[in-house]
Amino acid sequence: MLFVVYCRDKEDSQSIRLDNREAHLAYVDASDLEMVVAGPLLTPEGDGMIGSMLVVDADDRAQVDAFAASDPYRLAGLFDSVEIHPFRQVFPRNST
């Protein structure tokens, strides 16, 4: 099942993001979850990062909760909020 993980950074937290970026990327890369798409949310100008968004394929919500809870960004206190929602892909259309 697909899930969206939507994370918003705390105000003025760019240094926390940059200090933990390599650990976060390694954590995501090593995850057992299938990353459908993942990346940073950007400022309106596109010149700064203000959050993260991932679409993951997981067996269940508990697996996604555990993944999000152990993310180095979250452990470092980067996020102001983290939302996890089940997601249904419509486009591009798939055969299932």
Structural domain count of the chain: 1
CB 13 within 8 A of CB 78: yes
Within a domain: 42: yes
Tens digits of residue pLDDT in 18-55: 999 999 999 999 999 999 999 999 999 999 999 999 99
Domain that holds residue 8: 2-87
Residue 23 maps to a domain: yes
Q: Is 21 part of any domain?
A: yes
pTM: 0.92
Element (H, E) at 2: strand 2-9
pLDDT beyond 90 at 79: yes
CATH assignment of the domain containing 41: 3.30.70.1060
- Cα 57 to chain centroid distance, Å, stands at 12
Per-residue confidence band for 95, with pLDDT thresholds at 50, 70 and 90: low
For residue 40, CA distances in Å to 4, 7, 92, 93 come to: 13, 9, 21, 24
